[in-house]
Amino acid sequence: PVCRHGPAKTIYSMVSEVMRLYLGRRYGIAAIDMTTRECLQALRERGLNGSAPHWLRQFLEECDLVKFSRYEMPRERWATIWNDAKLIVHNTTPPEELEPSATPAAERAEAAS
């Protein structure tokens, strides 16, 4: 219910915590105890590359903006922030760990040929 009705600060705090716990477990860093800058640096040192660091930086900075200021994100954005988190997880999970149904159809077709 809080994800539908707010407040935004609670939603963004929750999604940020979930993402940091995921990053900590996936990459073996203390992301939950790091600043965004420290977290991104640790991820670069662990070899996170491609477009994932860019998306992750935008995601965490947006969360920080809402969590640590009086900025109120539009209600329409509240629903999509969790989708962004899911996309980041999907794009930072090695393909062999993804369930076949979670792999985009084009990638499945290419792998089958």
Digit-by-digit pLDDT tens for the chain (113 residues) are 667 777 889 999 999 999 999 999 999 999 999 999 999 999 999 999 888 899 999 999 999 999 999 998 888 888 889 999 999 999 998 889 887 765 555 555 555 55
pLDDT at residue 14, as a whole number: 93
Residue 86: how many other CB atoms lie within 10 Å: 11
* Helix-helix angle 36-45:8-27, to 10 degrees: 20
Taking CA atoms, 11 is separated from 28, 34, 37, 67, 73, in Å, by: 25, 19, 21, 9, 10
